[in-house]
Chains A and B, each alone.
Chain A
Amino acid sequence: MKEKNVINEKKRNEKYNEYVESVTPKASCLKNCIKAFITGGLICTYGQLLLEIFKWLDFGKTDAALFTTICMILTSIILTGFGIYPLITSFGGAGSLVPITGFANSVVATAIEYKKEGQVFGIGCKIFTIAGPVSLYGILASWIAGLLYWVLKLVGVM
């Protein structure tokens, strides 16, 4: 009898979740993609503009790229501080989450929020709560890619 109840409950839950899915409104995927495309494109254009300026100022190719990155992070930090970056992301979604500016936003927003809990236990412990997983698994992924590259080179494929 008890087992039957568990099965019934599982069935009820499955049915309910399907029903919820059918009545929950969803944002239009196409519309969001277009918004993300425009936002991401604008951020990249801004980056390209910076890169051209640094090149024009006679920075070497490597240095120009480096300074572009730094300036983009700085821009994101300033926009986050003024509360503008979240507005951009609520419009642009992945368009402004994925670029380096989004990464900077996730670090700075956390630092601002947890500043009140102290330099060590607040900022220190919590600054990477959102960015941390990206860094950790990003490094892991590049380590695996490196390993693959090394193995493939050993067996002479590459």
Chain B
Amino acid sequence: MIKGKQSVVFDKPVYIEAVASIVGEKEGQGPYGKYFDIVSNDPMMNTNTWEEAESKLQELAVDKLFDKSGIGKDDVRYMFGGDLLGQLIATSFGLKKYEIPLFGLYGACSTFGEGLSLAAMCVSGGYAESVIALASSHFASAEKQFRFPLEYGNQRPMASTWTVTGCGAAMVTERKTDVRISGITTGTIVDYGVKDSMNMGACMAPAAAALIAANLADMDVDESYYDKIITGDLGTVGQKILIDLLREKGYEITNRHMDCGIEIFDGESQNTMAGGSGCGCSATMFCGSLIDRIRSGEWNRILFVPTGALLSTVSYNEGKSVPGIAHGVVIERGV
């Protein structure tokens, strides 16, 4: 059912059958280390390049997902996947061996939310029984793509974030389980003219605020409808801005907001400045921890909002700002 301007509430229920997560060593040492399915201590993942290593993350996550869900490769109708690299090479090389029809997605770090949204629409629309949504990022391949070579020495600003090495994958099905995707809100591109690519929290916060406000308006509820509102990778700077922006719009989310980027690392001891980022940040946090906290009954309903900074080295060098986007997915416990 179409709701408001940007949202959908699923008439035919959609469920999450299983999730799988894999992360790198640094994430494994973080506060959520023990919740991930696989922690790999080899950043190269036994391959020759950073890009191949990221593909391997996807492969291992998907294999694990097949294991955990009991749904085999032949029963998966579509995959919705993406990463941060140019032309989505981590996804194309990571997923080619499965020969499952694929929609390659780019939503910067919001890709997992985009994937879950489309997967849920696809299943609810009756076009598939089981589909996979996944997203990955790798610290080294992202540094190479967007910043400097790894061995180049430079100083990180305090508002900068640390790209998460990891991949999260979810099996979305029509088969009834204890976690349900009940609705989605699709984000628009929001650009407040921030040009500082090392302050991505500030670039994305307006998009997250707009998305959350749109979701609450479309669903005709207030912020207390959700037990938690969980953003992707705003970091400490972005979190403060988000809360302020929403307060201006008349919503008070201080007590129910959580940010995967702030959670995944211990900023003090792990030297990650404002927090974690990357598609893998919200994807691994969702698959590693958030979904279990819904299953266990700690939360009954959350609004999961992966956030993306639509940054390109080309547009950045040409003097353009860094626009943001966010995608909201409503996840509920039980039927």
Report which A residues bind B (CB closer than 8 A).
10, 12-14, 16-17, 19-20, 23-27, 32, 80-81, 83, 85-90, 93, 96-97, 102, 105-106, 108-110, 112-114, 116, 130
Contact = CB atoms under 8 A, between A and B. Distances in A.
B153 A105 contact: yes
Contact of B151 (A19, A20, A102, A112): A112
Contact of B202 (A24, A83, A85, A130): A24
Given A20-B241, A87-B153, 19 more contacts: A16-B193, A16-B194, A16-B206, A23-B241, A24-B202, A27-B157, A85-B151, A85-B153, A88-B153, A90-B153, A90-B154, A93-B155, A97-B153, A105-B153, A109-B151, A112-B150, A113-B150, A116-B48, A116-B49
B316 interface: no
A84 to B, nearest CB: 9
A14 B194 CA distance: 9
A93 B196 CA distance: 19
Interface of B: 48-49, 144, 148-159, 192-194, 196, 199, 202, 206, 237, 240-241, 244
Contacts of A83: 151
Given A13-B193, A16-B192, A116-B49, A25 B151 contact: no
A20 B153 contact: no
22 contacts: A13-B193, A16-B206, A20-B196, A20-B241, A23-B237, A23-B240, A23-B244, A24-B199, A26-B157, A26-B158, A86-B153, A86-B154, A87-B153, A93-B155, A105-B153, A108-B151, A109-B151, A109-B153, A110-B149, A112-B151, A113-B149, A113-B150
Contacts of B196: 20
Contacts of A97: 153-154
B3 to A, nearest CB: 27
Nearest to A91: B155
Nearest to A36: B155
Contacts of A87: 153
A16 B210 CA distance: 14
Contacts of A24: 158-159, 199, 202, 237
Contacts of A20: 194, 196, 199, 202, 237, 241
Contacts of B158: 24-27
Contacts of A113: 144, 149-151
User: Which secondary structure characterizes the binding site on chain A?
Assistant: helix
Contacts of A96: 153
B241 A17 contact: no
A21 to B, nearest CB: 9
Contacts of B151: 80-81, 83, 85-86, 105, 108-109, 112-113
Q: Which 3 A-B pairs have the closest CB atoms?
A: A89-B153, A13-B193, A113-B149
A17 B155 contact: no
Interface hub of B149, B196, B199, B244 (most chain A Cβ within 10 A): B149
Given A23-B240, A25-B158, A106 B152 contact: yes
Contacts of A19: 241, 244
B152 A109 contact: yes
Contacts of A89: 153-155
Nearest to B191: A13
B149 A112 contact: yes
B144 to A, nearest CB: 6
A112 B153 CA distance: 13
Contacts of A116: 48-49
Contacts of B157: 26-27
Contacts of A88: 153
B182 to A, nearest CB: 33
B119 to A, nearest CB: 33
A20 to B, nearest CB: 4
Nearest to A88: B153
B190 to A, nearest CB: 11
A102 B155 CA distance: 13
A93 to B, nearest CB: 5
A96 B158 CA distance: 19
Contacts of B49: 116
A91 to B, nearest CB: 8
